[in-house]
Amino acid sequence: MSATVFTIANQKGGVGKTTTAINLSYALAERGVRTVLVDLDPQANATSGLGLEKLEGGSLYGPLCGDGTAPEKVQPVGTSDCLFVIPSEVDMAAIEIELYQRDNYLIQLREVLAPLRDSDDYDAIVLDCPPALGMLSMNSLAAADYLLIALQCEYLAMEGLGQILKVVDKLRDAGVNDGLELGGILMTMFDQRTNLGQQVVGEVRNHFDELVFRSMIPRSVRLSEAPSFGQSIFEYEPNSSGAHAYGYFADEVIERFKLRK
């Protein structure tokens, strides 16, 4: 059975996208789901957030240019038997331009990831995208089975939600990725003390119903601090509200997408 590919995308920065990619991947691995986190952002925040160095030649830049393969770039994370990463590096910024010059430029990432997806070594592949709907993000949508949207609990974030959903529809209509589905919306930076947060959650749930995950990620200083120590929230502050929230979220993802170990 092939691995399920998730892309965590949002063209707006600062919504908890990379935090979600790191902590979802870590929590899935803790639950026995063999998970590869692929860092596609040239800033490499997911890479450093897992305590890994940005090494020249370690990213998917080479394979996307026809040099090497994705499986060669997979690295284990710590002592986990189930968590792996393909790191990013600054060279990934150049691939945005180079992909435009290729035939079938929207499916280059899908073709590069095919050996990972079709192997029996992994259950889930999580793609962390740059905070913009550029060529890498478009390629990630073309490569994915499901789009997971991290949505900050504020009204301005809802404008971006409509834009990315239009892109998904266009990719499907153009036949680039007929099977791409909106896997779900994760509400992030939720502050239960404010009416605004409650109103935004209510409005999103009203429009998208069961597509909105039950789990909500709280606004948390601990979640913000953890990546600077190269740790997931489960390592940095395992008893925090953020760790509990991402644990519940991972359980929902396993249940919704049948990611049985």
Strand, helix or coil at 125?
A: strand
What's at 60, amino acid-wise?
Answer: L
Other beta carbons less than 10 A from residue 163's beta carbon: 12
Say whether pLDDT at 194 is over 90. Answer: no
pLDDT of residue 83: 97
* pTM for the whole structure: 0.94
CA distance 65 to 102: 10
The domains of the chain are located at 4-257
Q: What are phi and psi of 194, to 5 degrees?
A: -105, 145
* pLDDT, average across residues 136-162: 85
Banded model confidence at residue 93, pLDDT cuts 50, 70, 90: confident
What's at 184, amino acid-wise?
Answer: G
Residue range 18-28, pLDDT digits in tens? 999 999 999 99
First-to-last alpha carbon distance for the chain, in angstroms, is: 12
Say whether pLDDT at 11 is over 70. Answer: no
CATH of 4-257, one of 3.40.640.10, 3.40.50.300, 3.30.70.20, 3.30.429.10: 3.40.50.300
CA distance 30 to 10: 26
**HSE of 38, CA atoms in CB hemisphere, 13 A:** 31
Residue range 95-133, pLDDT digits in tens? 888 887 877 889 999 999 999 999 989 999 999 988 877
**β-strands 181-190, 75-76 pairing:** unpaired
Q: If you average pLDDT over every residue of the chain, what do you get?
A: 89
Other beta carbons less than 10 A from residue 194's beta carbon: 13
**What residues are paired with 8 via a beta bridge?**
128, 148
Banded model confidence at residue 236, pLDDT cuts 50, 70, 90: very high
